[in-house]
Amino acid sequence: MLRELSETKKIKLSYEKLNSLASILVRHTIGFGLIEVILQDEKIQDISVNAPVGSSPIFVRHQDYDECYTNIIPSHEDAESWAAKFRMLSGRPLDEANPVLDTELTLGNVRARVAVIQQPLSPYGLAYAFRRHREKPWTFPLFIENKMLNSLAAGLLSFIIDGGRTMLIAGTRSSGKTSLLSACMLEIMPKYRIIVCEGTLELPVDCLRDLGYDILRMKVREALTKETTELSASEGIRTSLRLGDSALIVGEVRSDEAVSLYEAMRIGALANVVAGTIHGASPYAVFDRVVNDLKVPATSFKATDVIIIVNPIKSPDGIHKWRRMLQLTEVRKHWLTDPSTEHGFVDLLRYDVKKDELIATDDLKNGDSEILKAIASNVREWAGNWDAVWDNIMLRAKIKETIVEIAKKTKRRELLEAEWTVKCNNAFHEIADKVREEIGVPKSKEVYKRWLEWFKKEIKGKA
C-alpha cells in the first residue's frame, strides 16, 4: 500500500524507508503508538498516562533520572484504541461495571504490566499505568552490583531456598518485590519442578524454561476482576497441590487466595520452596494484613518461615530513591496470639543506613536461628554444627561476590545475568557434592578453590 501511494505521489522510496514507514504505520494503527517507542528504553521503569487524556503529557520513571515528564501528549482516540486492544488481548472486561483492567503487554522481548482504569472509578475517563519488566530476570549478582542487597544476604537467601523454606517478600509498590522473587527463583535447582501462579504475568517463566527449568505457569483471575472464565487464585493454588511435588511461586497475595497459600505452605513447606509477594512495610504489617485483612488464622501464619522486607530509601533532599532490602526476619513458632509482643519475629539481617548495607544480627552470628537449625537438621554434615552451616552460607556469599568482582574487572556484564547465574549455581552444587564424597564434608576452601578454577576456565572459553 505504501509503495503504491509513493508511486502515485511520485516519491521515490528505498526498501529500507518503506520498511520503516510500514513499521510506523503498524505501530500507530494496530499497535500502541509511541508507548511502544518509550518501552524500548530498557531503563524506563514506569509510564503514566493520566486522565483526562490529552490534557497532560506522558510521565515516566527512569532508572537514572527518577520521575520525568515527556513531550508526548496522547489523544483521546489513542486512549480509546488502547482500551479496546487490551480488552481483546486479555479477554477481560473493561466497562462501567468493571472499571479496572489488569493485564500485560508483550512487544518482542519487552514485557510490561498494564493497569487501566475508567469511569466511574476515574471520573475524567481512561487512565493507564505501565510497569516495564526487565528483559532478562534480575539475579543476586545484579542486585549486589546495584546495592539492593549484599553478598551476605545473597548467601543466606541461597541457603534458605535450598533448604525448601516458605518465604514472603514484602514491601510497598515499586519496591522491587517481584524482581527479588524472580532472582530467588533462579536459586532453585533446575532439577526441581516449579509451579507459578499469577493473575498478571510478571515472573520470568519463559526465561527459566529456556534455561532448562521444569516450570509450569498458571494464569488465574485477578482479585478485582468479577466476571471472567479464569479460575480464582485460590483454585489455582489448590490445583497446584494436585500437580505433583513442586515448588510453588505465587505472584502476589492480594485477597482470599491467602488462605489457600497458607494451606500450600503447611502441606509443602517440608520439601519445597513456597514463596510469594505481598504489600507490607514490616513483618508485623505483613502479619496484620494476612491475619486481620485476609482472614488467615493466626496459627496458620506460623507456616511462614521467613519475611523479607524491601523498600525504597530516599536522599535527604527527597530527589533520589534507591531500592534496598531492609530486613530478613524469621517467624518463630512458639507464640500464641501476637508475634510482635511474644518475640515471634527475630531479625537475621537488618539494614544499616550509615553503612548502606545489610548486617548480620547477633541472633544470626550466634546461630540462634530456628529456621537455619531446622534446615541443618536434615543434613548429616550440618546437624548440630553451626560452624559448618555458617561456613556454607559464607561460601555462597563469597561465590556471589566473586562473580560481581570478576564481571567488573573483565567488563563482562553478561556474567551477572541469569544464564551465568544458573551455570554458576549448578557448578557450585556439583563441586560441593564431589568434595563431600571425597572428604566427607563439603569444606568451603576446597569447594571455592575448585569452583573458582571452573569459573575462570569457563569464562576464558566463552570469551
pLDDT of residue 230: 63
- For residue 207, the SS3 value is helix
CA distance 16 to 14: 5
Instruction: Choose the weakest-confidence range: 179-188, 416-425, 441-450.
Output: 441-450
- Mean pLDDT, the chain, rounded, equals 88
pLDDT of residue 269: 45
pLDDT of residue 197: 83
Nearest in space to 193 (alpha carbons), one of 237, 243, 159 = 243
Percentage with pLDDT > 90 across the chain: 57
Is the separation of the CB atoms in 328 and 306 below 8 Å? yes
Of residues 201 and 310, the one with the higher pLDDT is 310
pLDDT single digits (tens) 426-437? 999 999 999 988
Across the range 440-453, mean pLDDT stands at 88
CA distance 2 to 410: 48
- Please name every residue paired with 47 in a beta bridge, in sequence order, or none if there are none: 60, 130
pTM: 0.85
Across the range 200-220, mean pLDDT stands at 88
Across the range 247-268, mean pLDDT stands at 76
Calculate the CA 28 to chain-centre distance. 32
DSSP 21-71: HHHHHHHHHTS-THHHHHHT-TTEEEEEEPSSTTSS--EEEETTTEEEE-S
CATH ID of 140-378, from 3.40.50.12240, 3.40.50.300, 3.90.1200.10, 3.40.50.1110 = 3.40.50.300
Instruction: Give Cα separations from 249 to 153, 223, 274, 395 (angstroms).
Output: 20, 17, 6, 26
CA distance 374 to 111: 39
CATH 3.30.450.380 fits 14-133, yes or no: yes
Instruction: Give Cα separations from 344 to 302, 330, 332 (angstroms).
Output: 9, 8, 5
Is the separation of the CB atoms in 357 and 364 below 8 Å? no
444: CB partners within 8 A, 6+ apart: 391, 392, 394, 395, 398
Domain(s) of CATH 3.30.450.380: residues in the chain: 14-133
pLDDT single digits (tens) 141-169? 999 999 999 999 999 999 999 998 999 99
- For 278, what's the count of Cα atoms within 13 Å in the CB-facing half-sphere? 29
pLDDT single digits (tens) 222-238? 655 555 556 766 676 66
Domain(s) of CATH 3.40.50.300: residues in the chain: 140-378
pLDDT of residue 240: 63
Is the separation of the CB atoms in 275 and 169 below 8 Å? yes
**pLDDT at residue 270 above 70?**
no
Of residues 264 and 294, the one with the higher pLDDT is 294
- Dihedral of the CA atoms 217, 426, 402, 272 (nearest 10)? 50
Residue 243 banded pLDDT, cuts 50, 70, 90: low
Of residues 415 and 241, the one with the higher pLDDT is 415
Instruction: Give Cα separations from 453 to 5, 87, 388, 419, 428 (angstroms).
Output: 63, 53, 23, 19, 11
